[in-house]
Chain A
Amino acid sequence: MKSLANRPVNPVVGVPVSHESADLHVTGEALYTDDLIVRSANVLHAWPVQAPHAHALVESLNTEAALGIPGVVRVLTAADVPGTNDAGIKHDEPLFPSEVMFYGHAVCWVLGDTLEAARLGAEAVQVDYRPLPSLLTLTEAMEAESFQGNQPTLTRGEADTALAAAAHRYSGDIEFGGQEHFYLETHASFVYVDEGGQILVHCSTQHPSETQEIVAHVLGLQSSEVTVQCLRMGGGFGGKEMQPHGYAAIAALGATLTGRPVRLRLTRTQDITLSGKRHPFHARWEAGFDEEGRIQALKATLTSDGGWSLDLSEPVLARALCHIDNSYWIPNVEVHGRIAKTNKTSQTAFRGFGGPQGMFVIEDILGRCAPLLGLDAGELRKRNLYVPGQSTPYGQPVRHAERLHAIWQQLHDRADVERRREEIERFNASHPHLRRALAVTPVKFGISFNLTAFNQAGALVHVYKDGSILINHGGTEMGQGLHTKMRQVAATALGVPLEIVRLAPTRTDKVPNTSATAASSGADLNGGAVKNACDQIRDRLAEVAARKLNIHPDDVRFANGIVTGIGFSDPGIPFADLARDAYFQRVSLWAAGYYRTEGLHWDSARMQGEPFKYFSYGAAVSEVEVDGFTGAYRQLRTDIVHDVGDSLSPLIDVGQIEGGFVQGAGWLTLEELRWDVSDGPHRGRLASQSASTYKLPSFSEMPEEFNVHLFEKATEDGVVYGSKAVGEPPIMLAFSVREALRQAAAAFGPGDREVELASPATPEAVYWAITRAREAQATRDAEAAAQADPIPFPVPAPAH
């Protein structure tokens, strides 16, 4: 009964409930950081001075004219920093830089009585720049050998030998783009010095403890002098793991210097041009297969575009390397990783954290090689799935590998894949200008922070004398439903109805030294801590109840707000009555909970170990229809079977899966970051810097039919109430869309050729893939016609 995974009877976890703030969301009453400012007087507004160079030295900075603008109160520069002029944990991100490292880099900030005054002030600041040569593209950086951070290598077996011996050997390279987080709420901080002299930082941050640390060290203070609160975020997706700290520090600096509250909220364009994104990658690879299509060896070099500073580029790269196998057994592996240093925003965490980039490479390889091997791509993938007993290239056993096969089969059955393949063939034969295709791709994603120390969490649970319950934990709410799950966990652990568990906003003065709410680990870690706190309280209450019921404490049961014994005749005590009794018996009714994930180890130098608590599994099948005239396409149907263990909150989990899938499909098909890589005056400028130029998936990109099924009987031992993490893995289910697009484009030509598809697979990218397929068909047709005794070849209908 005390095992973390075991559920009591009638648990509140596992019940589908709405997001705990849903009523507040729909009525507009839910407050976000920037909604707080109307509650304060004398608020100052901040506006950055952004440099118009990709790389330059700041030769001089004159703020005099700005200070002459009515309403401008102060210009914050490096000279104002009492502590350390640095906003990054790697100490390579000066808050006020003397060297501009990317186009739009903020060199100083203006505070004004109004946002308009601050903006006009920023326009009036005079900065002299000395432009320097810049590196923008991965190609430029690789040629110049401009790298930063470590260069890990993941090896197993003898890749070279196995490649030489392989029946089929292919190679290629591909570069694929990054992704803007485009949380609907841009970065926002609101800071004032409170009545106790505490620096109170309201911040839209996934990592309040680190925001606290950075603010403290910029201000030259101790962490205890700074409190960070995050009410909720309007989306995070990894973009608020490291990136909010500097903005919070600017606002905090302004608040301490002026004695007035300071609000810093980025406009959309400021947010896109200032903040880091998903890392673009380049991959060069060589793969060997045996006669049956089994992968024998993979040799690859992955180069990520880290931008101007390290940020989280090293762990992102490590995770990319650790996921290049996706769900496939690759006996011989040699993968090198390196991080390019370019004059772009500092790329950072984004849902999946390198995992998607690693998997992209192997899925691209399989999609390209399947026709060359004469195999259906789905069959090729299936043949290579891990089986029980195998381990990853970094030496972690693939526990529950049988689930991959069970999910694969369930998905094919539920989605009626075989019948639909036949339908698709019929459809394509009768539609000269359209092609449909479906593709199945699997996901295996490792859960835990690669860095072992981050896998800990805390919680603070109060039971009041009236039996009401207030919980705090170290995780942040960004829409993923963590707070909903934590309330369900507490209600389950204390055996009370969900309604009496209230949750207070995340604050560093309630739970200290927290890890980022990231790596999908929020519910695992904080759920463990909340449960631990609740278990402590419940155990104490059980003693009180046992005395009253005259039974052994082990026989006390907590359910539905009633505390009783295990016998049918034992009387019940309302939870509130028991709480009051406990108070009068001087039994503590609150507890600090703590959790650390057991059994993890990781040697980052050797890239070996067992960094993950477990793997999340899933698979998706997507069907698309491509228009031969334009390359435009529709996502007709997607089916997903995904393993979330025993779900803590099914409505929340399905929401994470659907949302992650569509976000992944956005990255792979639509979302395109376009930088000015010319040698013109705006070299380095991000052209897609607004919602009108950077397009997110809208309703038109949702699969028209969308079925998500949670894999059943999936209890995960050693995790809170048998659940599994869900935040990131579904992103990677979207490879099914990209692979379906590849196959649909291929269907305009002969079926035995390698089809390259640029990423993102925009309509234009698909159109060029179609064009190449048609050209190949035309060549074949011409060759066939030229032969004296032409071999009959099934020619698809002419596609004009």
Chain B
Amino acid sequence: MERIQVTVNGQVRSCDGVSPHTNLLDWLRDEGLTGSKEGCAEGECGACAVMVSRPDGSDGSRWTSVNACLPPALVFDGQEVVTAEGLGTAPGACAVRKLHPVQQEMAERGGSQCGYCTPGFVCSMAAEYYRPERTTKASSNANSRAADGEAPDGSAQTGTSVVGEEHATDHETGPNGFDLHALSGNLCRCTGYRPIRDAAYALSTPEGTDPLLRRQDSPAPLARPTNSTAGGARFVRPQTMDELFGLLENTPEAKLVSGGTDLGVEINLRHSRPSLVLAIDRLEPLRVLTVGADRIDIGAALTLSEVERGLDGRVPLLNQLFPQFASRLIRNAASFGGNLATGSPIGDSAPALLALNASVLLASGNGEREIPLSEYYTGYRQSVRKPGELLRAVRIPLPLAGQTAFYKIAKRRFDDISSVAVGFALQLDGDTVSSVRIGVGGVAATPIRALRTEQALLNQPWTYELLADAAAIMATEGTPIDDLRASARYRSAMLEQSMLRFYAQTQPATLEV
């Protein structure tokens, strides 16, 4: 058997004998690389963030920030990982001060206080530093809110930001093109973030000779056919779909790992110890992204960041979803496949995809079948997916509805779990509603369609009177409960308000008095 090896900071390290349940963070720390920290072990705090080399297009790669606490270390067999230790060196007895530009800015601007979250911030920031699309834009309004609260342009275009959000975007992009959302998965308890933002926005462009920049010009390492048994469990990276289906048939209870954002939490917090873990994140049939005349197919194992880049705004509703879906660190690992397959009633992709009338393609050794997402869930975290079947792709029919919106109600704007999430897709024929789909999460055991509300709207004139009635119906959709995120009463109110908000968004005239 080939040896299992991970290249960390340019140095090849053996990963032989490591349990499939050992995450990348714990393995790094056992190797003596203690810069990466555990703050939560569930991908919420980013203290463990590292950079990994990921495929980008046909012949390039991309330094991608991920939470090291979630994926099994074995996922990285043959891969390249960079930690804060690999970016620079502090002065010491046998070392001269050699800081990476990101580290330099963080150190000099007061970006660290206790320092525990800092290595993770540095890695998230470095990945954004090297992001090829990061362009220098005019710095005119990046650091100051427009002095006067200008009235929004009120455009009725789909995908426009909600009232009052337009000035926010300025604050979330630096004059150097730095997207603050790159740090949305990193928590700091000490600084209050201002110096970290300043450090991020002060970064210049990487030097042409920067080895990490140049590394992006060549492909990411290929996935290796890892097959390892340790600690009473087996880890396999199948090379083909047939191999995968064979393994699934023999061991239907096997756990699939793509980004590990769900499995990692199961292992770390709920102490699940699956006997077989199958890595599927590099299987090509799961990584398709095709835009046809009448549909878009999105491979289940593409990361949300990859889908976001691949669609490039093609689906406005999803464009609204992405920045609100967890954090950049999570989106760099998580997939639609994982989010839908785990079946959480508060997963954010289902309400959006329900509104888009999406279906899922379920594949097994016996072939493939297409199931409308609205018929996929059968109960709390249960679906029509059979043992041995996996979710291969998500299919979105075209053309898209003319008016869409995605509203996420949560306590925190960055990286929170929804209390309620609502996706709207509306087609008007003149003033009449010719089609409408509303997907809702957080108000029932599964994501649902707001069918009674849709019924009340369909073929009716799109007026405020209609809306007021429909909003009242909307408030009664689902069976919301009280929990730690929100009360049932608030959830119902948010359903109603989301309808009113959507209407306001489509009616620029009501925004002005």
CA separation between A700 and B41, bound complex, in Å?
Answer: 22
* CB <8 Å contact, A19 and B112: yes
Pick from A146-154, A178-186, A555-563 the stretch touching chain B.
A178-186
* CB <8 Å contact, B85 and A27: yes
Task: Report the interface size class on chain B.
Answer: 35 or more
Q: Given A630-B409, A700-B412: A26 and B106 within 8 A (CB)? A: yes
* CB <8 Å contact, A690 and B40: yes
* CB <8 Å contact, B414 and A698: yes
A23's partner among B107, B113, B190 (CB-CB below 8 A) is B107
A29's partner among B39, B85, B102, B183 (CB-CB below 8 A) is B85
* CB <8 Å contact, B411 and A670: yes
* CB <8 Å contact, B84 and A26: yes
Nearest-CB distance from A136 to chain B (Å)? 15
CA separation between A764 and B417, bound complex, in Å?
Answer: 14
Instruction: Give 1 or 0 for each of A641-679: 1 = CB within 8 Å of chain B CB.
Output: 000000000011011001111110000001010100000
* CB <8 Å contact, A764 and B416: no
CA separation between A776 and B483, bound complex, in Å?
Answer: 28
Residues of B within 8 A of A660 (CB): 192
* CB <8 Å contact, B108 and A18: yes
Q: Given A184-B45, A234-B116: A704 and B193 within 8 A (CB)? A: no
B29 at the A interface (CB under 8 A): yes
Nearest-CB distance from B101 to chain A (Å)? 11
Residues of B within 8 A of A637 (CB): 145
A30 at the B interface (CB under 8 A): yes
Of A185, A268, A436, A700, the most chain B CB neighbours within 10 A belong to A700
* CB <8 Å contact, A692 and B110: no
* CB <8 Å contact, B189 and A235: yes
A89 at the B interface (CB under 8 A): no
* CB <8 Å contact, B116 and A629: no
B504 at the A interface (CB under 8 A): yes
Nearest-CB distance from B161 to chain A (Å)? 12
Of B29, B164, B414, the most chain A CB neighbours within 10 A belong to B164
CA separation between A244 and B112, bound complex, in Å?
Answer: 24
CA separation between A557 and B30, bound complex, in Å?
Answer: 52
CA separation between A711 and B512, bound complex, in Å?
Answer: 42
CA separation between A431 and B167, bound complex, in Å?
Answer: 15
Pick from A212-220, A477-485, A540-548 the stretch touching chain B.
A477-485
Residues of A within 8 A of B188 (CB): 184
Q: Given A27-B87, A267-B41, A674-B484: A700 and B189 within 8 A (CB)? A: no
CA separation between A181 and B487, bound complex, in Å?
Answer: 25
B190's partner among A28, A29, A430, A479 (CB-CB below 8 A) is A479
Residues of A within 8 A of B486 (CB): 764
Q: Given A29-B85, A431-B163, A691-B40: A634 and B168 within 8 A (CB)? A: yes
* CB <8 Å contact, B414 and A235: no
A25 at the B interface (CB under 8 A): yes
A410-456 interface (Cβ within 8 A of B):
423-424, 426-427, 429-434, 436
B497 at the A interface (CB under 8 A): yes
Residues of A within 8 A of B87 (CB): 27
**How many residues on chain A are close to B (CB under 8 Å)?**
94
B148 at the A interface (CB under 8 A): yes
CA separation between A762 and B84, bound complex, in Å?
Answer: 35
* CB <8 Å contact, B145 and A705: yes
Q: Given A26-B103, A658-B194, A659-B192: A672 and B41 within 8 A (CB)? A: no
Nearest-CB distance from A134 to chain B (Å)? 19
B36 at the A interface (CB under 8 A): yes
A696 at the B interface (CB under 8 A): yes
Instruction: Give 1 or 0 for each of B32-45: 1 = CB within 8 Å of chain A CB.
Output: 11111101111011
CA separation between A417 and B422, bound complex, in Å?
Answer: 38
Residues of B within 8 A of A479 (CB): 112-116, 190
* CB <8 Å contact, B501 and A629: yes
B513 at the A interface (CB under 8 A): yes
A693's partner among B107, B144, B191, B484 (CB-CB below 8 A) is B484
Q: Across the two chains, which residue of chain A brings its CB closest to B107? A: A22
B118 at the A interface (CB under 8 A): yes
A185-230 interface (Cβ within 8 A of B):
185-186
Nearest-CB distance from B491 to chain A (Å)? 9
B450 at the A interface (CB under 8 A): no
Q: Given A702-B192, A764-B486: A26 and B88 within 8 A (CB)? A: yes
Q: Given A268-B41, A630-B497, A693-B484: A23 and B91 within 8 A (CB)? A: yes
* CB <8 Å contact, A672 and B113: no
* CB <8 Å contact, A658 and B42: no
Contacts from B to A (Cβ < 8 Å): 29-30, 32-37, 39-42, 44-45, 47, 83-85, 87-92, 97, 99, 102-104, 106-108, 110-119, 122, 143-145, 147-149, 151, 163-164, 167-168, 171, 180, 183-184, 187-195, 197, 269, 271, 407, 409-417, 419, 483-487, 490, 493-494, 497-498, 500-501, 504, 510-513
Q: List 27 A-B contacts (CB under 8 A).
A: A22-B107, A22-B111, A25-B112, A26-B88, A26-B107, A26-B118, A29-B89, A29-B90, A32-B116, A38-B32, A38-B34, A183-B114, A185-B37, A234-B37, A234-B115, A432-B511, A478-B114, A629-B498, A659-B113, A659-B189, A688-B484, A699-B193, A699-B414, A702-B193, A762-B411, A767-B490, A800-B500
Contacts from A to B (Cβ < 8 Å): 18-19, 21-32, 34-35, 38, 119, 181-186, 232-237, 267-269, 423-424, 426-427, 429-434, 436, 478-481, 625, 627, 629-630, 632, 634, 636-637, 651-652, 654-655, 658-663, 670, 672, 674, 687-688, 690-693, 695-702, 704-706, 762-764, 767-768, 771, 797, 800
| 4 further interface pairs, Cβ-Cβ under 8 Å (given A19-B112, A28-B85, A691-B44) | A29-B92, A636-B145, A700-B414, A771-B493
